[in-house]
Amino acid sequence: MKLVTVLLAGMLATGVGYAQEKRLDPQQAVKACSPGMVDDDCIVRHFKDTVEASVIRGRLVYENYCILCHGKEGKGDGRAAKLHDPRPFNLTLSVAPRDYIAQVVRKGGESMNRGKGMPPWGDQLTDEQINDTLNFLWSIRVYK
Amino acid sequence: MKKIIFPLLVASLSSAALANDYLVDQKDKAFSKKSLKIKVGDTVEFRNSDPFFHNVFSLSDVKSFDLGSYAQGSSKKVVFDKPGKVEVECSIHPQMQMVIEVEK
């Protein structure tokens, strides 16, 4: 099941959002990982320069820092969403360009003339973490 | 009419005069206090002494608030007007947590 999930996520994870990372070769992954165990840990460990590994790392960053307001599925319904007006953005519906989203993440909402509730993450997250997070965000977009 | 208003005024002025101010610092990605006991009407000032942003908030039913993100040297105040337990967090640093117990 995990193999199917990962491969499906990999297939879905396409589009202009992804930068320089290469794609995971499913056959290689099956060979490198234990039979039937092509899980997140295996991909991150053995295929760290692939989009799929970046998305997995980005999801971890998201779950640590963003989920509070944007919610588990990125729909803007996190447990702290009620504190904010305007409410946190439904990230699955975003169509904004990658550079713009990166700036919002780094500088925060207020600096970008958006909601003040979005803090600036530039001091907290590394460039790699932000890149991974953007890759994750692109993977949950409805409009690819 | 005056007889009613006067005692009420005195009562409200005296309770305001008795309210205390407390300072909770944010340094090295931690609150300076893990827990704090205060009285209803007291004020807590949350100061940021770290060279990066903090964003103090609470989702507690007793007192929910969001102070927004603010930089080093800045501080923001919250008046606690109901008794109960208030869990305080930082949205940028999830490990930062403290509890304020507001007593009657």
In a domain, A14, yes or no: yes
In a domain, A73, yes or no: yes
Each residue's pLDDT tens digit in chain B (104 positions)?
555 555 545 555 555 668 999 999 999 999 999 999 999 999 999 999 999 999 999 999 999 999 999 999 999 999 999 999 999 999 999 999 999 999 99
The shortest CB-CB distance from A80 to any of B53, B69, B91 is to B91
A34 φ, ψ to 5°?
-60, 145
In a domain, A46, yes or no: yes
Write out pLDDT tens, residues A87-112.
999 999 999 999 999 999 999 999 99
Indicate the length of chain A as a whole number: 144
Domains and CATH numbers, chain B: 20-103 (2.60.40.420)
Prediction ipTM score = 0.71
In a domain, A6, yes or no: yes
Q: What is the mean pLDDT of residues A14-30?
A: 70
Side chain identity, residue A109: G
Question: Given an 8 Å threshold on Cβ–Cβ distance, is B69 in contact with A84?
Answer: no
Q: Which residues in chain A are closer than 8 Å to B91, comparing Cβ atoms?
A: 68-69, 80, 119
pLDDT at A45: 87
Rounded to an integer, what distance in angstroms lies between the CA atom of residue A130 and that of residue A96?
A: 16
In a domain, A144, yes or no: no
The reply to whether the predicted model has a pTM over 0.95 is no
Q: Which residues in chain A are closer than 8 Å to B68, comparing Cβ atoms?
A: 116-117, 119
Q: Which residues in chain B are closer than 8 Å to A64, comparing Cβ atoms?
A: 94
- Domain of A72: which CATH number? 1.10.760.10
Side chain identity, residue B34: K
- The 3-class SS string of chain B reads CHHHHHHHHHHHHHHHHHCCEEEEEEECCEECCCEEEEECCCEEEEEECCCCCEEEEEECCCCEEEEEEECCCCEEEEECCCCEEEEEEECCCCCCEEEEEEEC
In a domain, A114, yes or no: yes
Residues 67-86 of A with CB under 8 A from B: 68-69, 79-80, 82-84
In a domain, A23, yes or no: yes
- Give all strands of the β-sheet with B97-103 in edge-to-edge order: B35-39, B97-103, B84-90, B54-59, B64-70
Buried b (16+ CB within 10 A) or exposed e, A75-92: bbebebbebbeebbbebb
Q: Give the residue numbers spanning the domain of A21.
A: 2-139
Number of domains observed in the structure of chain A = 1
Q: State the nearest Cα–Cα gap between B103 and chain A, in angstroms.
A: 24
The shortest CB-CB distance from B68 to any of A65, A116, A121 is to A116
In a domain, A105, yes or no: yes
CA angle B91, B97, B102 (to 5 degrees): 115
